[in-house]
Amino acid sequence: MNDAVSVLDRGYVRLTNVMGSDLSVVNSARVSYDKESTELSEKDIRLIKFLAREGHTSPFRHATVQLEIYAPLMVARQHWKYIVGSDHTMDAWNESSRRYVTEEPAFYIPQADEWRSAPESSKQGSGKPIDVINAENGYADVNAGSHYTNALLQYIDKGLELYDSAMGAGICAEQARLFLPAYGMYVRYYWTASLQSVAHFLNQRLAHDSQVEIQAYAKAVYSLVKPKFPISIDELTRTEV
């Protein structure tokens, strides 16, 4: 499969494999009564709705998807946290390693209008763009976004210079990578997950108070998975996209 959705400036989510369908969920539930459907009926749809509503989630673990994700490290680590934090999911995760891979590093670089202010009423999350806040409050620095985009570019350039120097001096890749700015560096990984696990991630990361960057990845995952499981995914997810 080549289905892919672009995310942020360089990232993407690609659907690489699917096992099952809404019908798989139905038949997994009905096997207790030695019943099987060959086509999804209105009765089957009502069963999916019942299973999701009542928390009978094991049938949703008989359908899986495999996704290739290219995301900044800060997004990948948040994503991983919600996988290991759930004890009812079935997941596999394999990630590229700079111990072995020396491809050209890529970094997430927010544009001038994408730097967000700290939230007013929460210790996490973010508020309006910083330039908008500064302008509204009459601050002198109404172009802070441009300043920090340029500063980040300079920081990355310095890190790349040191990384290339270390590699050129024969230092092993697993140590040379220490010079690369970490949080914004893109990493590529495969995530294979049950439909229940996908829904758990979506419920956590489509929420309005989650980090904007990972919300963008959650929306991409949703857009790729929903056509494959149109009934189940909407019944399992509680947050509007």
Tell how many helices (H) and how many strands (E) occur in the chain.
9, 5
The per-residue pLDDT for 133 is 67
The per-residue pLDDT for 188 is 95
The per-residue pLDDT for 238 is 79
The per-residue pLDDT for 111 is 92
From edge to edge, which strands make up the β-sheet containing 11-19? 3-7, 11-19, 64-72, 186-194, 91-95
Buried b (16+ CB within 10 A) or exposed e, 201-240: bbebbbeeebbebbbbbbbbbbebbbebbebbbbbbbeee
The per-residue pLDDT for 137 is 66
The per-residue pLDDT for 139 is 67
- Per-residue pLDDT for the chain (241 aa), expressed as one digit of tens each? 567 999 999 999 999 999 999 999 999 998 877 778 889 999 999 999 999 999 998 999 999 999 999 999 999 998 988 776 655 556 888 888 877 767 789 999 999 888 888 777 666 677 777 766 666 666 656 588 889 999 999 999 999 999 999 999 999 988 999 999 999 999 999 999 999 999 999 998 998 888 999 999 999 999 999 999 999 999 999 777 6
The per-residue pLDDT for 87 is 56
Would you give the DSSP letter of residue 176? H
The per-residue pLDDT for 69 is 98
The per-residue pLDDT for 6 is 97
